[in-house]
Amino acid sequence: MQVSQLWRYPVKSFGGEQLQSATIEPDGLRGDHLWAVIDAETGAVATAKKVRAWSRLLECRARLLDDTDPSDPAVLEITLPDGRCTRGDDPRTPGLLAELTGRALTLEARPRTYDDAPLHLLTTAAVDALGTGDPADVALRRFRPNVVVSADGTGFVEDGWLGRRVEAGSVALVPTQRTGRCVMVTLPHQEVPARRDMLRTVTERNRVPNRPEATPAPCIGVYADVATEGVLAVDDSLTVR
């Protein structure tokens, strides 16, 4: 097995950027999920899975122009659905996002805003097992992984990685739970079209507990904690111990 793609999502609920290599820190991939859109009225972090208006955020892309200080707003570049680009330090940016969603917003660098774990791993074998008919890149991107693994075998192979040690490059990870899926997988973002049937498809193909004590749920991919920080790169061999 080997690492075939790396993705970073600098802003929660935005589309991300594809990388050739990434620094894996104790709390995740450097610069990933560091920024958040905040509802100016409630102070809540905007997430596309909870409020319909926030689903428009998935149509935006974010990337970092420099890794030295990912919390520097000047290095955060946002591309809006219509192709316009703006920066995190541009005073017009909150207004552009408010125009998109119909809500008053701010954009802030915060402690990492993960739902469950700092890294998300997904194998090509698992996506193939869904048989969605989507092009391979579209099918993978729908599930917003950090690390895509080209895997030998068939089926949801990463389901067997829980509690084991996954090593690639100078990094070691420990998968902690399967990735339970929600309405997010049905929504459009960038080149990924809406698929209203996708959550049902995952449910039909892989309805399993995401943790040993949990009830079965639609799952694909695994969440992982960082055991050893380091550098991970595309084409690195990956070993599960």
- Residue 92, exposed/middle/buried by CB under 10 A (0-12, 13-18, 19+)? exposed
Q: What is the pLDDT of residue 50?
A: 65
Half-sphere exposure of residue 68: CA atoms within 13 angstroms, side-chain side: 5
Going residue by residue through the chain, which has 241 residues, state the pLDDT in tens, using 9 for 90 and above.
999 999 999 999 999 999 999 999 999 999 999 999 999 888 888 887 766 667 889 999 999 999 999 999 999 999 999 999 999 999 999 999 999 988 899 999 988 877 788 999 999 999 999 999 999 889 999 999 999 999 988 899 999 999 999 999 999 999 999 999 998 899 988 889 999 999 999 999 999 999 888 999 999 999 999 999 999 999 999 999 9
Rounded Cα gap, residues 14 and 46, in angstroms: 10
The letter for the amino acid at 136 is: A
Q: How far apart are the first and last CA of the chain?
A: 13
CA of 45: how far to CAs of 38, 50, 53, 70, 239, in Å? 5, 10, 13, 19, 36
| Phi, psi for 177 (deg, rounded to 5) | -165, 155
Q: What is the pLDDT of residue 114?
A: 77
**Contacts for 108 with CB less than 8 Å, ≥ 6 apart:** 35, 36, 38
Token duo for residue 126: 């698992």
The 10 Å Cβ neighbour count of residue 150 is: 14
How do residues 12-37 score in pLDDT, each as one tens digit? 999 999 999 999 999 999 999 999 99
The domain locations on the chain are 2-7+115-240, 11-17+29-109
Q: Which residues pair with 148 in a beta bridge?
A: 5, 122
How do residues 104-146 score in pLDDT, each as one tens digit? 999 999 888 777 889 999 999 999 999 999 998 899 999 999 9
Task: Please check whether residue 83 is in contact with residue 30, taking contact to mean a CB–CB distance below 8 angstroms.
Answer: no
**Contacts for 47 with CB less than 8 Å, ≥ 6 apart:** 12, 13, 54
CATH architecture of 2-7+115-240: Beta Barrel (2.40)
Rounded Cα gap, residues 136 and 133, in angstroms: 8
Token duo for residue 77: 């570049």
Q: What is the pLDDT of residue 51?
A: 63
